[in-house]
């Protein structure tokens, strides 16, 4: 049931707010990228834009007074250092808008990579914000086999994220979708003997059909499937 899946997701999202209210009486409300445990915290635009003409964002979070002092020195804002209100987390949260404006001006003329390196060197949590379309370029992902290329008749070579499953007979990762399994099978089987390719394609087809049958069953249009993909 779709409703059951939605309830599970809602419970996971709402847990913090429920526990916080029960323990402290504090009612958590939406606050964007900000946090009750860190200030300043947010996304800030650096110089330049990406391939789609979107800002180059970085994320930073000041989690302690020591990190705040380091950020003040890095940005060169002596007025922040002399402001007693900004010496505490509560005061910085009240002045979050003012701090954000100052950080935005400081970062606007700096390349993202340079800014991230400087902020991290100062001991402040910081990272570049990567678009989902660039996820396969991250070094840990690129070094793994989680992303597989599929030969698409119209789009050409397309990087596709796979599932955390492997087919029992072949050891290959399961692609999210029957048509993707078929594309992978066609390409990889061509390098093997005809007999091996036949066995391999049958294995993929059986499991792809099983996944399709499962989907039909869950949609109320088919019988309960008898086979399952094994991890």
Instruction: Note whether residue 48 is domain-resident.
Output: yes
Give the DSSP H/E element, type plus range, for residue 128: strand 126-128
Contact between residue 220 and residue 200 where contact means Cβ atoms under 8 Å apart: no
Domain end among 73, 102, 129: 129
Chain centre to alpha carbon of residue 42? 16
Residue that wins the pLDDT comparison between 8 and 81? 81
Tokens found for residue 220 = 């109320």
Report residue 83 as tokens: 């402001």
Please identify, among 98, 129, 160, the residue that sits at the C-terminal boundary of a domain. 129
Residue 73, CA distances (Å) to 79, 81, 87, 122 in order:
11, 8, 14, 9
Q: What is the pLDDT of residues 59-81, one digit of tens each?
A: 999 999 999 999 999 999 999 99
- Give the per-residue pLDDT at 60: 97
For residues 162 and 202, the model is more confident at 162
User: End of a domain among 75, 100, 129?
Assistant: 129
Q: What is the pTM of this model?
A: 0.61
Q: What is the pLDDT of residues 15-61, one digit of tens each?
A: 888 888 999 998 888 888 999 899 999 999 999 998 889 999 999 99
For residue 111, what is the domain's CATH number?
3.30.1540.10
**Neighbour tally for 185: CB within 10 Å:** 21
Whether residue 192 is predicted with pLDDT greater than 60 in this model: the reply is no
What are the Cα distances from residue 112, in Å, to 34, 70, 92? 20, 19, 24
Band of pLDDT at residue 175, cut at 50, 70 and 90: low
- Average pLDDT over the chain reads 78
95 and 150 housed in the same domain: no
2 occurs within a structural domain: no
Short-list 25, 27, 29, 44, CA closest to 96: 44
The total domain count for the chain is 2
9 within a domain of the structure (yes/no): no
More confident residue, 188 or 92: 92
Domain membership of residue 162 (yes or no) is: yes
- Residue 135 in domain: no
pLDDT score for 132:
80
* Confidence check: pLDDT of 116 > 60: yes
Residues 159 and 101 in one domain: no
Structure tokens at 221: 């249009």
Distance CA 182, CA 129 (A): 34
Please report which confidence band the pLDDT of residue 2 belongs to, taking 50, 70 and 90 as the band edges: low
Task: Identify whether residues 95 and 158 lie together within a single domain.
Answer: no
Is residue 123 one of the residues assigned to a domain?
A: yes
What is the domain range of residue 159? 145-218
Domain annotation covers residue 167: yes
157 and 100 belong to one structural domain: no
């Amino acid at each position: 049931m779709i409703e059951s899946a939605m309830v599970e997701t809602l419970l996971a999202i709402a847990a913090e707010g429920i526990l916080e209210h029960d323990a402290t009486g504090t009612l958590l409300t939406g606050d964007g990228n900000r946090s009750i445990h860190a200030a300043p915290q947010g996304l800030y635009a650096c110089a330049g834009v990406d391939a789609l003409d979107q800002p180059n964002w970085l994320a930073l979070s000041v989690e302690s007074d020591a990190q705040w002092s380091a950020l003040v020195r890095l940005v060169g804002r002596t007025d922040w250092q002399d402001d007693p209100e900004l010496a505490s987390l509560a005061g910085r949260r009240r002045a979050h808008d003012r701090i954000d404006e100052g950080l935005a001006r400081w970062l606007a003329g700096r390349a993202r990579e340079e800014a991230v390196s400087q902020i991290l060197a100062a001991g402040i949590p910081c990272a570049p914000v990567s678009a989902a379309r660039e996820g396969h370029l991250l070094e840990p992902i690129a070094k793994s086999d989680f992303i597989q290329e599929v030969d698409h008749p119209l789009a050409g070579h397309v990087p596709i994220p796979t599932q955390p499953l492997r087919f029992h007979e072949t050891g290959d990762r399961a692609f999210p979708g029957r048509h993707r399994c078929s594309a992978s099978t066609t390409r990889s089987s061509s390098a093997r003997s005809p007999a091996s390719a036949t066995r391999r394609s049958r294995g993929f087809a059986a499991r792809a059909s099983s996944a399709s049958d499962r989907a039909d069953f869950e949609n109320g249009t088919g019988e309960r499937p008898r086979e399952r993909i094994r991890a």
